[in-house]
Structure formats: structure tokens, C-alpha cells
Amino acid sequence: MPQNVGKIGELLIQRGKLTKTQLNAALRNQGFFREHLGTTLFKMGFIDEDTLGEALAELSGVSYASPGMFEELPSNLVGLLPTKLAEKHDIIPLKLEGRKLHLVMLDPRDLLVLDEIAFITGYSIQPWIAPEFRIYDALERYYKLVSKRRRTIALSGIRAARTQGGEAPARKPGSATTPAQRSAAPRATSTASTAPQRVQPAAAAPAPTPPPPPPLKPEVGLDGRPLDALPDLSPATPTTEDSPAADDAATAEIVIETLEDAGRALQRAETRDDVAQAILGYAGRRVKRTALFILQKDRVIGWGGRGQGIDVNLLKELQVPRDAPSIFHTVRNGDNHYLGGVPDTPANRELYRVLGGNPPTFILLTPINIKGRPVAALYADDAGSPLNTQMHEILKLGRMAALALEILILRTKIMMT
């Protein structure tokens, strides 16, 4: 799941679980290995799995699934989730209570993914969170899926150690572990290989080399990277990472001349990024500035944009709290669009820093609803000019986008039946 690097690092420091020196060391290694911050913190021995999981739960507002909850999942429970769906969104079923299916997810705040899973499975969804490697390990155990996107840490030895009552404590903040101590520890080994295959336990610990090999811990880690990996908004994730949601494809500079052409592009869309391309490709021709945003439970994040002054990279990193006074309050219920000015609030000032300029006199913001709930928003302005001629087309484009997203969900359900 895509977490914010600063947030998770700061939270762990505030809780006395991490020092600034350790965080800086992890950030340096994270840049070298191009992996998630939480994974790096774990591999360097600075935190354990429960510490990371509890921090992720606090940040995401859902419950943490501890390692024991992944043991011996019944086959009938695993069978409730199609393999393709589990692989697509990196999700694992935990338990079924009546018509409520409890799932562990990388980004439990991704409403588009939650809606898709609920539609395909027929159950209401209760999301949980766990460190990413715990999820990837479960995907391999129960669905025979090996992650092609992230390096992993072997857990086969860890499960055996837990079964036998073994547990290795995490290093305390500020403490150090020598290479000799690491090689003496009877734990599973991880590597920094970028190959997609699962890492197997090593016969002997490697000799220390710069950067040092990760300590061998019976826990796993997760990222603290920005929430712009949407959606798969993510959401691929998001992971977020990652991110779900704000992939480069979502902002590819395609041009669509007519609303009919936009409709045909939406009809051909096979992914959410295809939908984003069609929306921005047409709206970008009709107005000076347009953008897409993902509306999650507690935040709004940038998806893609087009037009004067927009910094797409900054837009993908944008996060606006849902409860902060901003233009997004006008569409929070999905009942209607908003046409008017922009109140002077801190959240709106940050938004227009990313959008590249002062707030215009008139803006149009319309929700994109699925099953009556707003999951995204389409923004448009024409550099201060009234949007009288474009408003009808932009509103229709938003409705077409909602239908295209619902069709994608239905198509996925048909393919997985």
C-alpha cells in the first residue's frame, strides 16, 4: 500500500520506535534499493513486524492483521476470492462473517478497489492492513503467486520459528547490530536481488559488504512512500504505494477532439488509466486546465492532470484531508457538481500551488459516482473565464467516466466467473 514516507517515519519517531539517525539511514538505503521505506526499516533491523503493522493501522484507520491471522486459512475461504482478483489488487481473505468478507489489503482506503471487490464477490468488504511482505507471502502460499513488482524476504523459516515458539526481538532505537551478530542469528535470509522469484533461505549468512546485508528478522516491512500510487487508485494503489492510482499512463498526452471520440475511447478502456486518458484527453482540449482526483475515505489524492502550469509529479503527490475545508467539500456527497469561486483556505492554496497559479474566478468540479458514492472528481477551469459553453460537456464526460468504470468492474467480474 502506498504510505507517505514522512508520515510513517515521523509516527515511528513520535512513538519512540525509531530515531532520526535510523530513519535517515533507512532513507539512504531505500534510495539505493528502490524499495518501500517500511521494508527497508525492517531489513535494517530498526523495527519489527508488529511495530510496523500497528503504525500502518494508525495511519490508515483500519485494523492490523497480525502474522498469526494468515496461518492455515481454509481453502473454502481462499476460494471466495478469484486468483486473478487477488493478484490484481494484492489482497488476501481473512475471514467471512455472514455477508461481510474481511480482506487484508495494501491500501484499504482505495474506494475504487473496495467497490470492485464488493461487486465481483457479492460481499460487503471489511478492509484490514498488514506489511506488504506478509501479504505477498500469503499470495504465494495460498494462490501460488510470486510478486513480480517487489523484492521479497523469505518467510518459510519464520513461520517455522513462530510455530516452535521462537521470536527474535527488533533492535531498539539507537542500538546497533554487527555483521557477526547477524550471521549468528538462526533466521531466514533475504537478498537485495531484483529478480521476481522468491528468495530462498541461505545456507550461510553473506559476508558484510556495502550496503550491508539486511538483518534476519522474523517479521516483514511495508512502504511509507507517497500515496500517489493509486489507485491502483492504485490505486496501484496505490502504493501506494506505487499508488493506485496515479500511474504515468494516467497523464499521457493524448488528444481527443470530440465528445463522441471520448465516448469511443471510454468504451475501449481496459484499465482505469485508460479511462483517465480519455477524460483528460478530451477535457484538456475544452478548457485551459483540468485534473482528476481520487476521493478516498479520509483524503483526496491527485490522479492526473493537463493544462497550464500543472506539475503532474506534484499533483500525483497531492493529499488533501477530506475533513479540511476545500473545494472537495462541495462534492463530498456526490449529489451535485460545483460551479463557482474558490474559498481562501490552506488546503485550497496548496491545491493551486500544485495546479500552477492563483485560483480562478470560476471552477467546475463534478463527482464521478459508482453505486451512488463519489469515488473520483473531475476538475476544470478556463483561466477565469465562465465555463458556460463547456459545462454541459464536462458534466456529461463525468457521467460517461462513471459508467466506464462500472463497466470495467462488471467486465472483470465476468472474466473471473
Q: Does 237 fall in a domain?
A: no
Residues 159 and 118 occupy one common structural domain: yes
Residue 60 or 165, more confident: 60
* pTM (2 d.p.): 0.51
Residues 212 and 262 occupy one common structural domain: no
Q: Does 242 fall in a domain?
A: no
Stretch 111-138: mean pLDDT: 88
Domain count across the chain:
2
Residues 89 and 201 occupy one common structural domain: yes
Q: Does 265 fall in a domain?
A: yes
Q: Show which of 198, 232, 266 is a domain's final residue.
A: 232
Q: Is 309 left (phi over 0), alpha (psi -120 to 50) or beta?
A: left
State the pLDDT at residue 103: 95
SS3 291: strand
Residues 103 and 204 occupy one common structural domain: yes
Rounded distance between C-alpha atoms, residue 167 and residue 165, angstroms: 7
Residues 202 and 285 occupy one common structural domain: no
pLDDT digits (tens, 9 = 90+) for 68-101: 999 999 999 999 999 989 998 999 999 999 999 9
Say which residues have a Cβ less than 8 Å from residue 403's Cβ, sequence separation at least 6. 266
pLDDT digits (tens, 9 = 90+) for 379-388: 999 876 777 7
pLDDT digits (tens, 9 = 90+) for 348-383: 999 998 898 788 888 999 999 987 888 899 999 987
Rounded distance between C-alpha atoms, residue 107 and residue 237, angstroms: 6
Evaluate if residue 258 carries a pLDDT over 80. Answer: yes
Q: Show which of 232, 261, 283 is a domain's final residue.
A: 232
Evaluate if residue 216 carries a pLDDT over 60. Answer: no
State the pLDDT at residue 172: 54
Q: Show which of 232, 265, 282 is a domain's final residue.
A: 232
Q: Does 22 fall in a domain?
A: yes
Evaluate if residue 237 carries a pLDDT over 70. Answer: no
Q: Does 14 fall in a domain?
A: yes
Residues 276 and 377 occupy one common structural domain: yes
State the pLDDT at residue 253: 67
State the pLDDT at residue 330: 83
Q: Is 21 left (phi over 0), alpha (psi -120 to 50) or beta?
A: alpha
Sign of CA pseudo-dihedral 302, 304, 310, 311: positive
Range among 166-170, 201-205, 412-416 rated most confident: 412-416
Instruction: Determine the angle formed by the axes of helices 49-60 and 5-14, rounding to 10 degrees.
Output: 120
Residues 260 and 199 occupy one common structural domain: no
Residues 254 and 209 occupy one common structural domain: no
Evaluate if residue 230 carries a pLDDT over 80. Answer: no
Strand (E) or helix (H) holding 366: strand 363-370
Rounded distance between C-alpha atoms, residue 347 and residue 291, angstroms: 16
State the pLDDT at residue 322: 84
Evaluate if residue 2 carries a pLDDT over 80. Answer: no
* Residue 78: domain span: 1-232
Residue 33 or 382, more confident: 382
Residues 76 and 203 occupy one common structural domain: yes
Q: Does 243 fall in a domain?
A: no
Stretch 167-177: mean pLDDT: 48
CATH number at residue 399: 3.30.450.40
Stretch 13-23: mean pLDDT: 92
Residues 107 and 210 occupy one common structural domain: yes
State the pLDDT at residue 153: 52
Q: Give the three cell numbers for residue 36.
A: 518501500
State the pLDDT at residue 171: 52
Residues 54 and 142 occupy one common structural domain: yes
- Give the full edge-to-edge strand order of the sheet including 63-64: 63-64, 124-129, 100-105, 92-97
Note whether 295 and 376 are within 8 A (CB).
yes
Residues 188 and 305 occupy one common structural domain: no
Residue 279 or 3, more confident: 279
State the pLDDT at residue 62: 93
Which amino acid does the sequence have at 232?
Answer: D
